[in-house]
């Protein structure tokens, strides 16, 4: 024998929601079939006679929606109806308050961190994505770029290393199509494991594919990719739409098939001569990688030194390393025009400073612009900077109540770990908590070789802020690990506050500098003095031991110490 049960479902926002509800109902023991209509907000269920409504309501509530018998009132009255309410039929918490509906725009690091934290704290979440799930980092940023950089590093070591007198070098054959397949395979694996799979396994998060725009301070309209438009009401909203490569307003550039970092990482062949427009992080990382994979590379930077936000000694150290590998660097280069000739091989012509640089590929790496133009932010009064970045405070709040923002679309530093930390803290605050983002000891790494790793303030910034500082710079020929590696390129620089002698900044130019910078960040976070740092135990023959040695230079000449003097 079978019986029919009709449930009224509230909280669905699209036909995909209805499909999720249908699958959940069909998984309830004793249910023979179920059909769910998004338009009618109703579920028709055929079940065994022994099945009651309680597990059905519970299955719907587990997805973050509200369910009740179609012929019952909205509010539970009797004991049975109260039981439905406890199971989610009225979507309330123990204290009786209505569960919050949090909408997250985007699906990258900030978005996912916020969505998962909000669900953990009891919210019902709708996540809206207009493009590929996972955002920049896993798809076209950190993950593929570091894979390519590592492959290029291996190619470089096979061609040239400090041990060539005892280990015969052999020029490698670069099979770009195989490297690209390996790279993209790992990207797809991580995207599924860290994003798609988690979304599939978290029924309290409803996924919408489409373009979101604010209608008012509590409503979004979504142009769905499948067609049609949905209106979504929310209690809280997080904007986490990321950023895209910025293209400078140079005459002729938009009429050419230039690369951004996305196209460069997906390139199926290695160019003969790659011109890199921009001498900051992305341009230098990819420029060196392409050089090591066999391309000639020329870097054109508008400012008077590479990595303009860093001290000039860092720029000089990296420039020397790049030029030693054959990278041509022009700083102070004012690009006037870009031309392109579609022939075999193709030719880009970059004119500026009275000269013309020619190459078969052009990589534009002049920064990233926040993806905020299509959101209708001006319609609800959200403040943005001139570059489109959303202004947020240290609680990730925008200028509009109940609307938060995190990640690369904001005025915060564009690092994936800052985005994720911001998303988590935004979710806590959206759910009534009090969390703030402290960036005073934020480490940063440039994945060139040697790497650039920094934390805290550099000497120039400290002096601009009126802080009296003392500094020491330890060259790597004083670090035993570097000597053992026969690679002493670079230095470690410490910045301390005069008077307190507290460590406030560290900059390192060194192979694998990124592996030592977190120790420096912890020392700054712990408000250690330089003497405290010098007195710590560091394992011998590690690069991080260089921090201890650099700290010791404030009191003694480390050249006069034995190998592992304490």
CB 130 within 8 A of CB 142: no
Q: Do 34 and 70 meet the contact criterion of CB atoms below 8 Å apart?
A: no
Paired tokens of 444: 């940063």
* DSSP-derived secondary structure letter, 384: B
Tell me which residue of 494, 447, 429 sits closest to 151, measured CA to CA: 447
How deeply is 318 buried, as exposed, middle or buried, from its count of CB atoms within 10 A (0-12, 13-18, 19+)? buried
| Annotated catalytic residue, options 1, 38, 65, 91 | 65
Confidence at residue 24, expressed as pLDDT on a 0 to 100 scale: 86
459 touches 495 (CB < 8 A)? yes
pLDDT at residue 13 in the model? 67
Confidence grade of residue 239 (pLDDT, cut at 50, 70, 90): very high
Euclidean distance between CA atoms 329 and 280, whole angstroms: 12
| Rounded Cα gap, residues 449 and 489, in angstroms | 9
- Residue 12 annotated to the active site: yes
How would you class 92 by CB atoms within 10 Å of its CB: exposed for 0-12, middle for 13-18, buried for 19 or more? middle
d(CA 24, CA 34): 9
The predicted model scores a pTM of 0.84
Superfamily of domain 253-365: FAD/NAD(P)-binding domain (3.50.50.60)
Q: Which two tokens stand for residue 106?
A: 């985007």
Beta carbons of 352 and 339 less than 8 angstroms apart: no
Mean of per-residue pLDDT scores for the chain = 92
pLDDT in tens, 530-543: 999 999 999 999 99
pLDDT in tens, 384-394: 999 999 999 99
Nearest to 352 by CA among 338, 334, 340: 334
Is the pLDDT at 223 greater than 80? The verdict is yes
Q: What value does the mean pLDDT take over residues 446-466?
A: 96
**Rounded CA gap, 195 and 197, in Å?**
6
How confident is residue 439, by pLDDT bands cut at 50, 70 and 90?
A: very high
**Predicted pLDDT at 90:** 40
Task: Decide if pLDDT at 94 tops 80.
Answer: no
What is the C-alpha separation between 247 and 316, in angstroms, rounded?
26
Q: Taking 60 as the threshold, does the pLDDT of residue 78 lie above it?
A: no
Find the mean pLDDT for residues 465-480: 96
Nearest 5°: CA angle at 530, between 526 and 535? 90
60, two tokens = 């719907």
Q: CA 474 to CA 467: how far, in whole Å? A: 22
Whether the Cβ atoms of residue 140 and residue 265 lie closer than 8 Å to each other: yes
DSSP for residue 397? B
Give, in order, the Cα–Cα distances in Å from 181 to each of 37, 268, 377: 42, 10, 40
pLDDT greater than 60 at residue 86: no
What's the pLDDT at 76?
39
Query: What pLDDT was estimated at residue 100?
Result: 93
CB 36 within 8 A of CB 26: no
Q: List the single range of 9-13, 179-183, 403-407 with lowest mean pLDDT.
A: 9-13
3-state secondary structure at position 466: coil
Confidence of residue 566 (pLDDT cuts 50, 70, 90): low
Q: Are the C-beta atoms of residues 104 and 13 closer than 8 Å to each other?
A: no
Q: Would you state the pLDDT for residue 57?
A: 85
Query: Which tokens is 162 given?
Result: 């400090």
At the second CATH level, the architecture of 2-96 is: 2-Layer Sandwich (3.30)
Residue spans of the domains in the chain: they are 2-96, 102-134+186-245+369-430, 253-365, 444-560
For residue 559, the model assigns a pLDDT of 79
Q: What is the mean pLDDT of residues 426-455?
A: 97
Out of 32-36, 79-83, 363-367, pick the least confident: 79-83
DSSP class per residue in 510-551 = ETTGGGTHHHHHHHHHTT-BHHHHHTS---TT-TTHHHHHHH
Q: List pLDDT tens digits, range 107-145.
A: 999 999 999 999 999 999 999 999 999 999 999 999 999
For residue 291, is pLDDT > 80?
yes
Do 253-365 and 102-134+186-245+369-430 have the same topology in CATH? Answer: yes
Active site residue 237: no
The CATH number of the domain covering residues in 444-560 = 3.30.390.30
The pLDDT value recorded for residue 50 is 82
In DSSP notation, 123-135 reads -EEEEEESS-TTH
Q: Which residues pair with 475 in a beta bridge?
A: 491
Cα gap 234→103, rounded to integer Å: 6
From the list 1, 38, 91, 137, the catalytic residue is 137
Q: What is the DSSP string of 181-235?
A: HHHHHHHHHHHIIIIIHHHHT-TTEEEEEEEEEEEETTEEEEEETTSSEEEEE-S
Q: Is 137 assigned a catalytic role?
A: yes
Identified catalytic residue from 14, 112, 148, 442: 14
For range 354-368, the mean pLDDT: 98
Q: Which residues pair with 48 in a beta bridge?
A: 2
Q: Is 232 exposed, middle or buried (0-12, 13-18, 19+ CB in 10 A)?
A: buried
- Half-sphere exposure in the Cβ direction for 266 (13 Å, CA): 9
Distance, CA of 551 to CA of 389 (rounded, Å): 38
pLDDT of residue 40: 83
Instruction: Based on the residue annotation, tell me whether 563 is a catalytic residue of this protein.
Output: yes
Q: Which of 37-51, 68-82, 310-324 has the highest mean pLDDT?
A: 310-324
Q: What is the pLDDT, as a whole number, of residue 295?
A: 98
State the Cα–Cα distance between residues 86 and 313, nearest whole angstrom.
Answer: 64
Rounded to an integer, the average pLDDT of 61-80 is 60
User: Which residue among 38, 142, 303, 417 is the active-site one?
Assistant: 142
**pLDDT value at position 394?**
96
Instruction: Look at residues 445, 387, 408, 361 and name the one whose alpha carbon lies nearest to residue 145.
Output: 445
Instruction: Tell whether domain 102-134+186-245+369-430 is in CATH 3.90.230.10.
Output: no
């Amino acid at each position: 024998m079978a019986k029919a049960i009709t449930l009224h479902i509230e909280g669905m926002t699209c036909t995909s929601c209805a499909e999720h509800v249908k699958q959940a109902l069909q998984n309830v023991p004793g249910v023979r079939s179920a059909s769910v209509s998004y338009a009618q907000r109703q579920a028709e269920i055929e079940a065994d006679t022994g099945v009651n409504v309680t597990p059905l309501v519970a299955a719907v509530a587990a997805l973050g929606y509200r369910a009740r018998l179609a012929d019952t009132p909205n509010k539970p009255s009797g004991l049975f109806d109260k039981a439905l309410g406890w199971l989610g039929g009225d979507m309330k918490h123990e204290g009786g308050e209505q569960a919050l509906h949090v909408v997250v725009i985007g699906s990258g690091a900030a978005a996912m961190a916020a969505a998962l934290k909000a669900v953990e704290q009891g919210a019902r979440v709708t996540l809206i994505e207009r493009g590929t799930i996972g955002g920049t980092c896993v798809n076209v940023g950190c993950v593929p770029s570091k894979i390519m950089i590592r492959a290029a590093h291996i190619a470089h070591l096979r061609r040239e290393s400090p041990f060539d007198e005892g280990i015969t070098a052999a020029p490698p054959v670069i099979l770009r199509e195989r490297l690209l397949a390996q790279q993209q395979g790992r990207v797809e694996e991580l995207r599924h494991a860290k994003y798609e799979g988690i979304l599939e396994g978290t029924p309290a998060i409803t996924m919408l594919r489409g373009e979101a725009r604010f209608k008012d301070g509590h409503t979004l309209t979504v142009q769905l990719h499948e067609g049609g438009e949905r209106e979504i009401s929310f209690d809280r909203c997080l904007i986490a739409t990321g950023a895209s490569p910025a293209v400078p307003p140079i005459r002729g550039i938009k009429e050419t098939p230039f690369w951004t970092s996305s196209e460069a990482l997906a390139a199926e062949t290695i160019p003969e001569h790659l011109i890199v427009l921009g001498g900051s992080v992305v341009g230098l990382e990819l420029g060196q990688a392409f050089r090591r994979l066999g391309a000639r590379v020329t870097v054109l930077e508008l400012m008077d030194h590479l990595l303009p936000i860093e001290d000039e000694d860092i720029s000089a150290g990296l420039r020397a390393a790049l030029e030693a590998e054959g990278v041509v660097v022009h700083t102070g280069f004012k690009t006037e025009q870009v031309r392109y000739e579609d022939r075999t091989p193709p030719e880009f012509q970059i004119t500026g400073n009275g000269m013309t640089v020619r190459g078969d590929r052009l990589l534009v790496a002049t920064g990233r612009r926040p993806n905020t133009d299509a959101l209708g932010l001006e319609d609800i009064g959200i403040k943005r900077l001139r570059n489109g970045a959303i202004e947020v405070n240290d609680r990730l709040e925008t200028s509009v109540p109940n609307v938060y923002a995190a990640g690369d679309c904001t005025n915060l530093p564009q690092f994936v770990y800052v985005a994720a930390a911001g998303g988590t803290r935004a979710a806590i605050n959206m759910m009534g908590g009090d969390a703030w983002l402290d960036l005073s000891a934020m480490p940063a790494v440039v994945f060139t070789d040697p790497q650039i790793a920094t934390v805290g303030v550099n000497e120039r910034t400290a002096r601009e802020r009126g802080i009296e500082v003392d500094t020491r710079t330890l060259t790597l020929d004083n670090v035993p690990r570097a000597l053992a590696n026969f690679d002493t390129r670079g230095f470690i620089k410490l910045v301390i506050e005069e008077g307190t002698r507290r460590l406030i900044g560290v900059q390192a130019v060194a192979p694998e500098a990124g592996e030592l910078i977190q120790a420096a960040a912890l020392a700054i976070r712990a408000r250690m003095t330089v003497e405290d740092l010098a007195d710590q135990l560091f394992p011998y023959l590690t690069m991080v031991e260089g921090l201890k040695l650099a700290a010791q230079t404030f009191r003694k000449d480390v050249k006069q110490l034995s190998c592992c003097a304490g």
